[in-house]
Amino acid sequence: MKGSHLLLCLLSISCSVGWMLAAGSRIFHFGPCRVPMTMTEIRAGFTAIKAKIQARDPIRTLSILSHPHSLHKVKSSDRCCVTHHLFNFYVDKVFRHCKTEDSFINRKISSIANSFLSVRRKLEQCREQNKCTCGQESTEKFNQVLANYEGLNVTSAAMKSLGELDILLDWMEKSP
């Protein structure tokens, strides 16, 4: 009887993994934290609106995410913390202030935001299990992102951050 429960459990796990792979999901490694994400869905939504969002950005001389000290050279042990901060940042600050008169764009933003909410919950679970600790360097890197964001008015900063979403996605995909 115990063997059949084990077999059923293994079958369930393999089906879940197969479904995740079929849905374009991938396991991302942020330090000791492992997070499944459907990056293809997020990228597709962003690609559909990228040109229109970036065209709304009047400030081309400043970057919120690619400041020399923001995401570059983040230690593996700090990747979870920085990712967790950035997902909170996008959910709490960016997506809330990215409303346009175009309902198509708003639906895509909402879809991306929902994906971020799901990942944020998974990152929060890692933090609760003490797998996602924040060191001084990760806090400084995130504070640089916040300083860049808060140097602009809320709407401009939100649109610029959304327009730079590909920087974050590229950084995450380069995770070891």
Whichever domain contains 131, its CATH number is 1.20.1250.10
Report yes or no on 121 lying in a domain. Answer: yes
- pLDDT per residue over 104-159, tens digit each? 999 999 999 999 999 999 999 998 988 888 888 888 888 989 998 998 999 999 99
- pLDDT per residue over 84-116, tens digit each? 999 999 999 999 999 899 999 999 999 999 999
- Give the closest residue to 47 by CA, choosing from 58, 37, 39: 39
| Domain hosting residue 118, numbered range | 29-173
Report yes or no on 19 lying in a domain. Answer: no
d(C-alpha 19, C-alpha 16), whole Å: 5
Report yes or no on 14 lying in a domain. Answer: no
- pLDDT per residue over 18-55, tens digit each? 443 444 688 988 888 899 988 999 999 999 999 999 99
Number of structural domains the chain divides into: 1
Report yes or no on 158 lying in a domain. Answer: yes
pTM of the predicted protein model? 0.81
The whole-number pLDDT of residue 20 equals: 39
Report yes or no on 13 lying in a domain. Answer: no
Under 8 Å between Cβ of 141 and 56: no
